[in-house]
């Protein structure tokens, strides 16, 4: 190809691997999508009063994924993420831990390009105590597990 044997070609172009690595990096970029304080009024909890009374919940998501700028159809639409979280919040759940895990796993499965996903749910408990609010978070690898 370069007028030399195959074994000498690499010696003449010692930085070819750098060009290839750079091309791979540019072809796929990372983006973080944070949707903070999505507001819902639903009934979740173990106690009878929590199931009878709708409570205010704030759900936040932190999503990291790779995308190719030449393929905008691969972007994650924040409106779709909100709709997915809203659908999951409508399903009653006794334990907040189960709810936050279910939402995180649903998003990770629905969007296979997700590399990392964290979901937090905040509520002001109807069972009053020496606290203003309760936060439950769950994070993990996304669809690329």
pTM of the model: 0.76
Which CATH architecture is the domain 30-141 placed in? 2-Layer Sandwich (3.30)
Per-residue pLDDT of 89-145, as tens digits, reads: 999 999 999 999 999 999 999 999 999 999 999 998 777 667 778 899 999 987 654
Q: Delimit the domains of the chain by residue range.
A: 30-141
**Read out DSSP for 6-72?**
HHHHHHH-TTHHHHHHHHHHHHSEEEEEEEEEEEEEE---SSHHHHHS-EEEEEEEEEEEEE-TT-G
- Could you give phi then psi for residue 54, rounded to 5 degrees? -70, 140
Contact 117, 104 (CB under 8 A): yes
Per-residue pLDDT of 39-74, as tens digits, reads: 999 999 888 888 888 999 999 999 999 888 888 888
């Amino acid at each position: 190809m370069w007028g030399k044997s195959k074994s000498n070609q690499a010696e003449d172009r010692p930085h070819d691997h750098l060009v290839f690595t750079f091309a791979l990096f540019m072809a796929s970029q990372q983006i973080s999508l944070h949707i903070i304080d999505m507001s819902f009024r639903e009934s979740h909890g173990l106690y009878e009063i929590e199931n009878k009374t709708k409570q205010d919940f704030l759900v936040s998501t932190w999503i990291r994924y790779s995308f190719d700028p030449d393929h905008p159809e691969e972007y994650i639409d924040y409106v779709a993420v909100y709709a997915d979280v809203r659908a999951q919040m409508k399903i009653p759940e006794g334990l907040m831990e189960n709810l936050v895990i279910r939402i995180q796993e649903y998003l990770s499965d629905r969007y296979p390009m997700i590399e990392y996903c964290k979901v937090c749910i905040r509520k002001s408990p109807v069972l009053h105590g020496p606290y203003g609010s309760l936060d439950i978070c769950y994070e993990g690898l996304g669809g690329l597990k």
